[in-house]
Structure 1
Amino acid sequence: MAARNTSGTRGRGTQGVADGLRGLSSALTSWLTRPLASFHLLLVVFGLLTAFGLVMVLSASSVESFSRQGSSYSVFLKHLLHCLVGAVCCYVAMRMPVWMLRRFSHVFLLVCLVLLSLVLTRLGFANNGAQSWFRLGPVSFQPVEPAKIALALWGAHVLVTKRALLGQYRHLLVPVLPAALLMFALVMMQPDFGSTVTLGIVLLALLWFAGAPLRLFSALVLGAVTGMLALIFLFRYQISRVTSFFGSGSGNEDKSFQATQARLALADGGMFGEGIGRGWSKWQYLPEADNDFIFAVLGEELGFVGCASVLLLFGTVAYVGMRIAARNTDPWIKLVSATLTMWLVGQAAINIGYVVGLLPVTGLPLPLISSGGSSVVITMVVFGLLANFARHEPEAIAALRSLGPGRIGRLLRLPTPSPYRPPASRRPAGAANPRRPQAAKPSGKKNRSEGSNSAKRRAPSGQRRSGAPR
């Protein structure tokens, strides 16, 4: 009898859990149907990733900051300053009119190409073997970071403008591919292997979402592999990274030592981790603990649960970005949103991939979590652009115009977006509006007084005018 009661209690408990999950799913589905759900969800993910980054940078950089500068907060304060600057830039991108972003995208691209050329001269300075930085007093930045956004904005503008001709390869690839290859060449001359990979992600995403045929991607991937092999064999530090990845991992080389220590840190974390600030890998066992390999410190201190939370957040970024692209009617917004989303998620996947040992080390930071200057600011700008595009969904525009800006829009003083108006279709030269066919002129002599005498024109149909043919 007791066994029956126990089984009945377990059955009711299981049924209650199932009912709770169904209720949660229905509530989430109902919330996602709201007009501004994409905008609000994106802001939540943005805030959580930024908070994760601040906590982990403080924990991962405290030991090295104290050993080098005597303060455990030096790297953290710099990262906090970059986050504040990035938040201002994110707000500006959120308020920027969409028509202005598209109209001046070619100017933005030209400025970035000029900066990528100047960084190779004496105006730029080298760091970690790559001459890819400008330094203006205490401020330094990488021009390749805004160049990624410029390529996405301008490339989407060109492809959308020529969307009726994209079935022809010359219209599909020109001028997007030559401009992208020029940008690749300038970045590879620095050399910056990781930024070249992210630029390749932007280019492939543009062509993919523009509807390029699959056979084109085989040629592009072959060219990309050839370029990467050339970069690897031209610069020895890339050879050491590749050989350490495919080798036995003996730990004698610096890059292999870095990857090995990252995997050991992840293994020490277990399910729930050692706790914030209690990891041992940052005690000069793991180089670049606050930057390239911060995911290893996160796994050591927060365990599998922390790593899964970060993966869930980036998965949500992918969902929201594609949702914004699918729900918009402006083809330029659709293409830019999908491209920027693929860039963020692809960079996060590459960083996590080489930390866990699935990919060679490329030196790409984890967006919004790794410490950095230009990368953090530009990543926040991308989130601002996506939030701007989320407010341009047709249902969101209708809600904002009828119900007002809402709490967040009123707090941020965001302008009400204008509805999308498709451009007027141009007709071919020979396809003018056809005129009404004129009545056939009667044969015989014309009545000279017909053009001047209006009364005769209005004569009844049954009364025949003089001079008219029978």
Structure 2
Amino acid sequence: MATATKTTRRRGALTPLTAWLTRPLASFHLLLAVFGLLTVFGLVMVLSASSVDSFNKDGSSYSVFSKQVMYCGAGLVLFYLALRVPVKLIRRFSFALLLGCVGLLVAVLTPLGTELNGARSWFVVAGVSFQPVEFAKVAFALWGAHVLVTKRALIAQYRHLLVPLVPAALLMFTLVMLQPDLGSTVTLFLVLLALLWFAGAPLRLFAVLLLGGLTGGVVLSVVASYRLARLTTFLNPGTDPSGHGYQSMQALYALADGGLFGRGLGQGWSKWQYLPNVHNDFIFAVIGEELGFVGCAIVLVLFGTSAYVGMRIATRNTDPWIRLVSATLTVWLVGQAVINIGYVVGLLPTTGLPLPLISSGGSSVVTSMLVFGLLANFARHEPEAIAALRSLGPGKVGKLLRLPTPAPYRPPARRRSARPTTSSSRPGSKSSGAAATRRGSGDRRARSGPRARTQTRGGHR
């Protein structure tokens, strides 16, 4: 009896949340809330983590923070553009975007690129640096989804499933590793795996890809001495605590020092030159030190909610391209957060990937905001959201942002065979059955008349 009472209370407490999630635009509003919270939280933590380093280098505690605000402003512009651009237009120009990004990956290896921290991965224009590989990840997801959806009737055959997707991915892997940038190569590989997984590739293919990726990662780690040192330090952190294992050990000390509620915002010691790159790659350690386990849990909940909303958008859409892109971008965004948090807490080798929307850095923040803009655009293309927007109006957020009403999804018309149907088909053959099915459906369409066609249009809406 007591158990039944507790269950009833839980259901009663969850009823308002469940009712709110059934609203047509729940995905859109929830995504905007998570996006805003991650952005504000990231700006606060960048200001706290970078204040000492900024003062030592530039004489001002706000130099890194001011650049981060500027990058967030540029990212908000891309977020708004991605939210407004029609989905069909994005898909149509996905190949052109990919070609442009591949061209930038080639150009960054020339003297036009700038070498920072031992990698030629940046362009510096008017004092502002950006990494083309971050935008290449988004372009590859958009184009790869277009290819797989276009060939979805043939992807049961390996040559149609893998070509041209895998050769294009291998080309990008090669260009990124020439910089060299193993962390970005790992995330590009994650995008490839997500595309193939959600397209329905067979499981044995993933076994081959994972084995090849693991072998390639080990080979690349052995070839470069600093990667080998990272790998050995990960396997045994105590072997070099003052050398290659210094960052990892200091990050663990910072997390342990935070306890449950932390030392207080701005009161952490790790940013006082104890932990290098504290406002970039290891900002999660500062969160744990200053805000404790509670602050870390907030970050995990926000990224977990991002994963839920992204997959919700993918499952609730009817356009196969939107479904594939939404799921792939969600896996990449949340996967990069998992990798960053994983190496900060000592579960993964250090790869130098930033924490999306929280770490300082222009390319990562701008690209993450672009991804959230695309997901928000896709959220407004859910069938129930389209019906609500077309019947009830754009709503408060739509009016404020002046967003256009999304068009309903129209599946592409099937091509009809030019050959006339012969009467020599056997009654039990597939051709005769298909012809009978087409004749039957044609008769039903003729009998249904305008009323059925109107209902069909309403159903799409």
| TM-score under structure 1 length normalisation | 0.87
2:341 to 340, 352, 358: 352
CA contact (8 A) 2:241 2:249 kept: no
Report the alpha carbon displacement of residue 70 of structure 1 after superposing the two structures with TM.
Answer: 0.7
Q: Any idea what the Cα deviations from partners look like across 1:201-246, whole Å, max 9, x if unmatched?
A: 1000000000000000111112111221232122222111111111
| Structure-2 residue corresponding to 1:131 | 120
Report the alpha carbon displacement of residue 98 of structure 1 after superposing the two structures with TM.
Answer: 0.4
Report the alpha carbon displacement of residue 24 of structure 1 after superposing the two structures with TM.
Answer: 2.8
2:168 to 154, 179, 183: 179
1:255 aligns with 2:215: no
User: In 2, Cα distance between the equivalents of 1:405 and 1:307?
Assistant: 36
Report the alpha carbon displacement of residue 193 of structure 1 after superposing the two structures with TM.
Answer: 0.8
SS at 2:245's partner residue?
helix
1:230 aligns with 2:219: yes
User: In 2, Cα distance between the equivalents of 1:296 and 1:16?
Assistant: 42
CA contact (8 A) 1:49 1:313 kept: yes
1:56 to 32, 38, 45: 45
| Structure-2 residue corresponding to 1:314 | 303
SS at 2:123's partner residue?
strand
Larger helix share, 1 or 2: 2
User: In 1, Cα distance between the equivalents of 2:41 and 2:4?
Assistant: 35
CA contact (8 A) 1:244 1:255 kept: yes
Name the aligned partner's letter for residue 269 of structure 2: W
2:194 to 205, 209, 230: 205
**Which runs of 5 or more residues in structure 1 are unaligned?**
1-10, 436-470
Q: For 1:89-128, what aligned pairs fall within 5 Å after superposition?
A: 89-128=78-117
| Structure-2 residue corresponding to 1:442 | none
| Structure-2 residue corresponding to 1:388 | 377
* Alignment root-mean-square deviation, CA: 1.6
CA contact (8 A) 2:237 2:245 kept: no
| Structure-2 residue corresponding to 1:35 | 24
**Alpha-carbon spacing, 1:420–1:259, altered in 2? closer, same or farther (3 Å):** same
1:328 aligns with 2:312: no
| Structure-1 residue corresponding to 2:452 | none
**Which runs of 5 or more residues in structure 2 are unaligned?**
424-461
| TM-score under structure 2 length normalisation | 0.89
**Alpha-carbon spacing, 1:25–1:132, altered in 2? closer, same or farther (3 Å):** same
Q: Any idea what the Cα deviations from partners look like across 1:112-148, whole Å, max 9, x if unmatched?
A: 1111011111110111111001111211111101100
| Structure-2 residue corresponding to 1:452 | none
Name the aligned partner's letter for residue 374 of structure 2: L
CA contact (8 A) 2:237 2:249 kept: no
SS at 2:124's partner residue?
strand
1:220 aligns with 2:209: yes
Name the aligned partner's letter for residue 69 of structure 1: D
**Alpha-carbon spacing, 1:360–1:427, altered in 2? closer, same or farther (3 Å):** same
User: In 2, Cα distance between the equivalents of 1:17 and 1:280?
Assistant: 45
CA contact (8 A) 2:75 2:367 kept: yes
Q: Percent identity?
A: 70
Q: Which has the greater radius of gyration?
A: 1
Name the aligned partner's letter for residue 124 of structure 1: G
SS at 2:255's partner residue?
helix
Number of positions where the alignment pairs a residue of Structure 1 with one of Structure 2: 422
Report the alpha carbon displacement of residue 402 of structure 1 after superposing the two structures with TM.
Answer: 0.1
User: In 1, Cα distance between the equivalents of 2:348 and 2:216?
Assistant: 18
User: In 2, Cα distance between the equivalents of 1:397 and 1:163?
Assistant: 25
Name the aligned partner's letter for residue 96 of structure 2: V
